[in-house]
Amino acid sequence: MNEKEKLEGIKEKKKTVRDTLYGRIDVSLETMDRVLIILFVLLGFSLVIGILV
């Protein structure tokens, strides 16, 4: 095995943060990103409402 093959093997094994967090769930990454964005927006909105009231 030469060094190029070793580097390619390392690149294949490396996972992104999204794959690590919700890679096992049978939903596309884009859909899960949208769900998380909506949840964070709602959390921020509820914090603002809670501070104002």
Per-residue pLDDT tens over the stretch 3-48: 666 666 665 667 788 778 777 888 888 888 899 999 999 999 999 9
Local structure of residue 3 (DSSP, 8 states): H
Q: Does residue 14 belong to any structural domain of this protein?
A: no
Q: Does residue 4 belong to any structural domain of this protein?
A: no
Q: Domain total for the chain?
A: 1
For 18, the token pair is 């999204």
Q: Is the pLDDT of residue 1 over 60?
A: no
Q: Which domain holds residue 33?
A: 25-53
Which pTM was predicted?
0.58
For 23, the token pair is 């890679």
For 45, the token pair is 């909105």
For 28, the token pair is 């596309």
Q: What is the dihedral of CA 47, 48, 49, 52, to 10 degrees?
A: 120
